[in-house]
């Protein structure tokens, strides 16, 4: 038996149309899972068709997860596309807003917290109800290195990702006995559009690279192995963990 095989499993990935989210979708799909991608982009159907050209089906569901009614509708539509059930939820959708703490606006704070944290809570709750009935399921949240430290000019993002780590543990405490594994991945400095501003800052970029033992920024492809592990039978006794993918940054 291949304990990493996801053939026949049904997965939802939020924010899966680009960046790290797309890497997560591709990893699950390559391991055999059917995937519904929830994303706000108008290109969601084309992206889903491209990823799903061979192997299991991939569905595109357009929705703004910062709107709670759209969130419910997108989740329900995804479960319907997957045949009325769900085995895996990956909460990856997120946004970033940058400004010094003294100038950070309440609007930016609310937008970031709503999508990065509240949507993760609501979607996990919806998925958890389905999974608890089956006594089986995998929820994987996307935390961050900023779950461990504060960063600069990103107070809302740091707060949201610190909270995602704690939320992961809170759900795990209640749901591990129900057969639902709740864990989180904490990506390090990744070469994605979310980090364009940092990568363009030569001084900051150099300091970051100097502290990464692997000597490079991460890529969406670096996410594939861990997402397959956490979504598969191989991780059945892994609960409430926040696992870094950071090229060794936290250990340096």
Q: What pLDDT band is residue 198 in, cutting at 50, 70 and 90?
A: confident
Distances (CA, A) of 29 to 38, 146, 197, 229: 15, 28, 31, 13
Reported as a pLDDT band with limits 50, 70 and 90, residue 160 is: very high
| Domain containing residue 237: CATH number | 3.40.50.720
Q: What is the DSSP string of 42-97?
A: TTHHHHHHHHTTSSS-EEEEE--TTSHHHHHHHHHHHHHHTTS--SEEEE------
In this structure, is residue 21 part of a structural domain? yes
Please pick, among 157, 189, 237, 249, the residue that the annotation labels catalytic: 157
- Look at residue 79 and tell me if it is in a domain: yes
Share of the chain above pLDDT 90, in %: 95
Residue 252 forms part of a structural domain: no
- Whole-number pLDDT of residue 57: 98
Say if 109 falls within a structural domain.
yes
Question: Is the confidence at residue 227, as pLDDT, over 90?
Answer: yes
Structure pTM?
Answer: 0.96
The token pair at 232 is 């598969």
Which residues form the domain of 101?
Answer: 10-246
Can 157 be counted among the known catalytic residues? yes
Q: How confident is the model at residue 192 (pLDDT cuts 50, 70, 90)?
A: confident
The Cα angle at residue 159 between residues 140 and 213, in degrees rounded to 5: 70
Say if residue 197's pLDDT is above 90: no
Site of tokens 């946004």:
95
How far apart (Å, rounded) are the C-alpha atoms in residues 66 and 167? 18
Helix axes 224-231, 19-30, angle to 10 degrees: 60
User: Is 190 domain-assigned?
Assistant: yes
pLDDT number for residue 195? 83
Q: Kindly give the residue spans of alpha helices, DSSP state H, lying in 82-219.
A: 106-113, 119-134, 155-175, 196-200, 202-211
- For residue 1, being part of any structural domain is answered with no
182 has which bridge partners?
139
How far CA 216 is from CA of 93, 119, 248, in Å, comes to 24, 31, 10
Q: Quote the number of domains for the chain.
A: 1
């Amino acid at each position: 038996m291949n304990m990493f095989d996801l053939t026949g499993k049904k997965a939802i990935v939020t924010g899966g149309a680009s960046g790290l989210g797309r890497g997560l979708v591709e990893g699950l799909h390559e391991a055999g899972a059917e995937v519904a991608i929830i994303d706000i982009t108008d290109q969601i159907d084309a992206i889903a068709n491209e990823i799903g050209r061979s192997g299991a089906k991939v569905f595109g569901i357009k929705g703004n997860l910062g709107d709670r009614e759209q969130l419910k509708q997108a989740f329900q539509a995804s479960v319907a596309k997957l045949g009325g059930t769900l085995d895996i939820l990956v909460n990856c959708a997120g946004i970033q807003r940058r400004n010094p703490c003294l100038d950070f606006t309440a609007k930016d704070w609310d937008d970031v917290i709503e999508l990065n944290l509240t949507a993760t809570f609501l979607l996990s709750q919806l998925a958890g109800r389905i999974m608890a009935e089956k006594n089986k399921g995998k929820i994987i949240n996307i935390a961050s290195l900023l779950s461990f430290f504060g960063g600069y000019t990103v107070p809302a993002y740091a707060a949201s990702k610190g909270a995602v780590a704690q939320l992961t543990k809170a759900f795990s405490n209640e749901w591990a006995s129900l057969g639902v594994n709740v864990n989180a991945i904490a990506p390090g400095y990744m070469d994605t559009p979310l980090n364009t501003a940092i990568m363009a800052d030569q001084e900051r970029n150099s300091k970051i690279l100097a502290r990464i033992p692997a000597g490079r920024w991460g890529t969406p492809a670096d996410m594939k192995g861990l997402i397959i592990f956490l979504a598969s039978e191989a991780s059945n006794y892994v609960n409430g963990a926040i696992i870094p993918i950071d090229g060794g940054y936290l250990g340096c």
